[in-house]
Structures are given as structure tokens and as C-alpha cells.
Structure 1
Amino acid sequence: MSGDRRRDDTVKAHMPLVGHLVREMLARVPAHVSRDDLLSAGYAALVAAARGFDEDRGVPFARFAAARVRGALLDELRGLDWASRSVRQRARRTDSARQELTAELGRTPTVAEVAERLGCSVEDIESADDDVQRAVVFSLQGFATAGAEDMVTEKTPGPEDMLIRRERMGYLAHAIEALPERLRAVVRGYFFEERPMAQIAVELGVTESRVSQLRSEALSLLRDGLNTHLDPNLATPVKDGCVARRRAAYFESIADRGTLKSRLALTSPDGLPVAA
């Protein structure tokens, strides 16, 4: 069998892998992201992987191709505006309304109060929040695994690159562990266990609106916590006040959760989470 025919057969046999990775990615990004665009990028990466695959490396093709396809999907998403313009406009109006109501009421307004101020339904507010928050989660995951897709272009991943990736994933795990109990429960339940917000609300004894607020607070803490330790230039400056001191204490607690050795122990040599 000719080399071209063998590559064509390899590509056809692994096309379902692209579909699986695209479905996995779509579950973590806003609904407006095009499935067809991701599939096109994934199939192109699969073809490139088949052309560049070297059996002598001793790495199974499926594993090699999966890394290349994930990298292509990340590149495709980086070129997109994860939250559409209309979603961002609604998010800005919602934030302004929340700030105005907070000043007037002296407390955090409920979703119903924000909806009334904007003249829309509670569902509209929660839908827009959900799209923006999923974009934030994807950016956190991309931050934690940044550089992974570039490693597969080398004959063997550089040990320094692999250590950096594993350290980032370890920091993310410790940042989640360091969250206050309720925030940690919301993050794990909503994003990792993919449970309905209503179910989480019942377990915590709060409303769904409150769960949405806790989710936003948790993601803000995670983002700034990771940036504080791994990319300080992107971290939001900590100001004076009780809230600022609590955030600073949280950032410090992430570092106190472990050492480089313990963070590396949370992932395998391939940079994947170690099963509990």
C-alpha cells in the first residue's frame, strides 16, 4: 500500500476523534461558537498530523493526533470573540445596573431587581451571564494548559515545557481547593460535574440567583489567583479594605497549599490530571 493511501486511511479512521474533541470543546464555550468552524480546523489538523507522524517515535497515532487537533481548536478559538458583541453589550448594561442598584440599596441586588431595572426577564440576565462565564472558564483552562499544543511539533516534548504545564495545572487545582467552601462547591458542581444550577441551589439552601452570584465571585477569584502567581502583570491590583484583604489572603493560601513537587504530583508526566 502506498504512503498516500495509508495516510488517507489513517485520516478516515480517526475522523471520529475530531468529532469527539469538538463536542468536548463545545461544552466549554458559549453557544454561538460555530461547530463547523471547529470541525474544519480539527480535520485540517488531523491531515497535518497524518503527514507529520513518525512511527519510530513510539507514540500511538491517536495520542499524537489528539494533541495536534486540540492545539488547532485552541488556535481557532483564540481568533474568535468568545462572547458575541450583543452578549458583551448586555453584560455591560447588566454590570452598570448592578452597580447603580448596589449604590442605591446598600447591598448586592437580586437578579430579579436587576431584570426589573433593565426591563427584561430574569432568564435573559442569567442566559447572558452564563455565556460570559463559560468564556471565562475556557480562558482559565486555556491559561492553565497554554503551550501544550506547541509541544507536539517537536520530536519529543521538552522537559522544561512539560514541567511548566504540570505546574500550571497544579496551581489551578490548588486554587480551586483554596476557595471558600460554598464557592468551591459551586465550581465543582456546575463546571466539573455539570449539574443543574437548581440542584446546587437546593443543596446549598440558597436561590438559583445566589448560585449565579457565587459562580461569578468564584471565577473572579480563580482568575486573579492564577494570575497573581503565574502572570502577575495580568492580576488585578489588590486595594485597601476588608474585601481586598480577603482576596489577598486567598491568593496567599493558594501558594500555601503546596510546593512545586506537590503540584507536579497532581498531574501525570503527560500533564493530565491524576485520578483520585
Structure 2
Amino acid sequence: MRENADTEERDALITSSIPVVTHIVRETMGRVPSHVSRDDLTSAGLAALVQASKSFDASRGVPFARYAATRVRGAILDELRGIDWASRSVRRRARDLDATRAQLAGILGRSPSTAEVAQAVGMTLDEIARNDEDIARAQVLSLQGAQDASLDDLLPSAGPTPEQLLEHRERLAYLVEAVAELPERLRIVISDYFLEERPMAEIAAELGVTESRVSQMRAEALVLLRDALNHELDPTLLKPHARPQGSANRRREAYFAAVATRHAASVRRPVGVTALDETA
């Protein structure tokens, strides 16, 4: 009899809290790309709700709805982290563009312009810029898991270990320092596009270049940022430069050294001084 009563009580908790899942999914869908499946997020949320009903302890004094919301948000965040933030068509087109760029670079002996790539693949400059933009946003979103950082704050207790949190903070610190050490125009593109969310047309007008050039600069900056983090945190992932003796590689190495120096200085900096002071 007691087992039946417990089952009925759990069922009642689940049924009464389904709107919590619906609300969180609806809230999340407003911040993610349109190809993310609402059904997948709902399934993850409902599964977490059922698990929450089994582990809920009323004696702790926490309302079930609040406890369940934390578990549901954590499950949805995990689901989002496993999603490819770019659609298949965008990924396929990006692979084709990368292959074309590599082929033209081999023929021309230099990096091809966007116009040359567009002519080779039969696309307009705007189409290439939009595809590059979709990929760039996907790269950032895949790192964040969601556009709202508060989701990370609501992960259940079985979340990252202290070591993982320390590693995550170190990576973020390096990222801030790597952005600060970017060449000025690349830093402007990254800050304006990703942090201030300014339209590409505005950034192009400010820098006096075309939108396709801004797209190229953004891609160049993202490669530099990735390589700088790998250089400091996981050298095995750092790809060697195509021309080790060239001036481009010397500039890259100088950039890596500048990031390392800035990080070393930030480690010695008093606690009250933030990394943002360096870029003020």
C-alpha cells in the first residue's frame, strides 16, 4: 500500500510540474537556432523531471518545482551541448568552401580572395559571408552551450568537478588575454561582432572595408584565438604553420608570446584588478 502511495505521490509531482518543463523549453527555444528540435529538448526535460521526482527529498525544505527546474535546466543544457549548432546544409557548404580555398591557395600560391572563391563555387559574396557568419556563430554557441550563461549557474550538484571548473576558468582567462592581444582591427571585429553584437555592415563601415573583408578578418581572428589557446593549454592540438620560416608564422609566434606574457602578468596581478582593466 505504501509503495502505491509513493508512486501516486511521484506521479502527482510529475504531472503538476510539467508546465515547468514547458516553460523552460519555450524560454530556451527563443535563444537557439531554429533547427534545434523542441521535441528533443522537451524529452530531455521530461526525463529529468521523472528522475527529479525519484530523488526529491521534501525534508530538505526545497519546493519540488524549484528542485525540478534546476534538474530540467541541467538536462536541457546537456542536450544543447551535444547539438551541432550549424545545420547540415551550412556545414556541407562550409566544407565545400574550405576545399575550394585550399585548392585555390595551392594554385595561386597565396590565400584566395573572397571574390575568387565566390567565382570558383558559383556563389555571391553575400552568400559566402552569410555562410561564414553561420559557422562562426555556431562555433561560439557550441562553446557556450546556450546564449544565456545563467544556465551554467543552475546545473545540478553532480556537475563539473573543482578541477574542471579551474580548467574552465583558466581557459576563459586565456581567451580574454588572447582577444586583448589580437591586432587592433581583428580585435575590433571580434569585440564588436561577438560582444557588442553589432551588424557586420556597421563594422565594415567603421573600418572602411567591405562586409566580405570583415568576414575574412573574423575568420582569421578565430583561428588565431583557437591556436593561442591550444599553444598554451594543449600544444598537441596546435597545427604547424604551412610556412614555418615565413613572416606570417613569425607574427603568429610573436602573438603567442604576447598572450603568454599577458597571462603571466595577470597571474601576478592583485586580486582586485580584473582582466578587463587591461583592455580599457
Residue of structure 2 equivalent to 1:13? 20
Q: For residues 117 and 131 of structure 1, what CA distance do their matches in structure 2 show?
A: 21
Which deviates the most, 37-46 or 235-244? 37-46
Counterpart among 205, 210, 217 of residue 208 in structure 2: 205
Q: How many residues align?
A: 254
2:77 alignment partner AA: R
Identity %: 44
The secondary structure found in structure 2 opposite 1:206 is coil
Q: List alignment gaps of at least 5 residues for structure 1.
A: 268-275
Q: For residues 152 and 262 of structure 1, what CA distance do their matches in structure 2 show?
A: 33
**RMSD over aligned Cα, in angstroms?**
3.8
Residue of structure 1 equivalent to 2:81? 74
Counterpart among 217, 224, 228 of residue 225 in structure 1: 228
The higher radius of gyration belongs to 2
Shift of 1:188: 2.2
Which deviates the most, 192-201 or 15-24? 15-24
Counterpart among 147, 156, 159 of residue 152 in structure 1: 156
Query: 1:3-54 CA distances to partner (integer Å, 9 max, x unpaired)?
Result: 4323432342353123223433x25xxx544344344334433543454455
Residue of structure 1 equivalent to 2:139? 136
Query: 2:178 touches 2:259 (CA, 8 Å); kept in 1?
Result: yes
Residue of structure 2 equivalent to 1:186? 189
Alignment of structure 1 residues 1-276 onto 2, 5 Å:
2-24=9-31, 26-27=32-33, 32-53=35-56, 56=60, 61=67, 62-75=69-82, 77=83, 80=84, 82-84=86-88, 86-102=89-105, 108-141=111-144, 152=156, 154=158, 158-238=161-241, 239-258=244-263, 259=266
Shift of 1:112: 2.9
Q: TM-score, normalised by structure 1?
A: 0.73
Q: List alignment gaps of at least 5 residues for structure 2.
A: 1-7, 275-279
Q: For residues 136 and 6 of structure 1, what CA distance do their matches in structure 2 show?
A: 38
Query: 2:45 touches 2:73 (CA, 8 Å); kept in 1?
Result: no
Residue of structure 2 equivalent to 1:270? none
Shift of 1:197: 0.8
Q: TM-score, normalised by structure 2?
A: 0.72
Which deviates the most, 90-99 or 173-182? 90-99
2:224 alignment partner AA: L
Q: For residues 240 and 263 of structure 1, what CA distance do their matches in structure 2 show?
A: 39
1:127 alignment partner AA: R
Query: 2:100 touches 2:117 (CA, 8 Å); kept in 1?
Result: yes
